């Protein structure tokens, strides 16, 4: 690439009817000045592009990191939801099993309680029958001892004792 100095120092060959040297020099000076400005501006733009590319690469890496983080967060959230569902199912299954066991134990207890109540009722009926039988025997004995013959006999026995004592 040609530089501004090379443009300024360039020598043209002379001809008989050539251009006016002063105009050529002014024009060359103007072209060299514009060229230097464009060259400097181009260098600044290239440097700026390099900075922007560096920043762009930095943001692309940041975007990739954020995307990876987002994917990881989504995967973690899905795993947490799956684990929570599994734990909820396990708790529900355990609860169902516990309820079934409690109901079975309750039913077994109710069977034993019913058997106990029937046995107790039977025993109480036997005891009531014995009590009724004893009451009846007591009434019979009472009736027996209330008979006039037994009363006469008792009176005579009492008199016998009295006579012996006398």
100-135 pLDDT tens trace: 999 999 999 999 999 999 999 999 999 999 999 999
Locate the domains of the chain by residue range.
4-165
- The mean per-residue pLDDT over the stretch 18-32 comes to 81
Instruction: Work out the number of other CB atoms within 10 angstroms of the CB of residue 36.
Output: 15
Evaluate whether 4 touches 33 at the Cβ level (below 8 Å): yes
pTM of the model: 0.44
The pLDDT value recorded for residue 109 is 97
Predicted local confidence at residue 141, as pLDDT? 87
């Amino acid at each position: 690439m040609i530089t501004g100095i090379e443009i300024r120092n360039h020598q043209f060959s002379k001809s008989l009817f050539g251009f006016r040297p002063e105009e050529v020099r002014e024009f060359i000076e103007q072209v060299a000045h514009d060229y230097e400005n464009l060259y400097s501006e181009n260098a600044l733009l290239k440097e700026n592009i390099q900075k922007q590319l560096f920043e762009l690469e930095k943001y692309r890496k940041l975007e990739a990191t954020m995307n990876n983080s987002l994917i990881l967060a989504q995967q973690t959230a899905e795993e947490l939801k799956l684990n929570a569902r599994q734990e909820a199912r396990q708790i529900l299954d355990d609860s169902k099993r516990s309820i079934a066991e409690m109901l079975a134990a309750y039913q077994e207890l109710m069977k034993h309680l019913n058997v106990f109540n029937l046995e107790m009722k039977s025993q109480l009926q036997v005891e009531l029958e014995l009590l009724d039988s004893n009451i009846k025997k007591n009434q019979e004995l009472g009736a027996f001892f209330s008979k006039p013959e037994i009363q006469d006999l008792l009176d005579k026995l009492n008199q016998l004792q009295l006579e012996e004592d006398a």
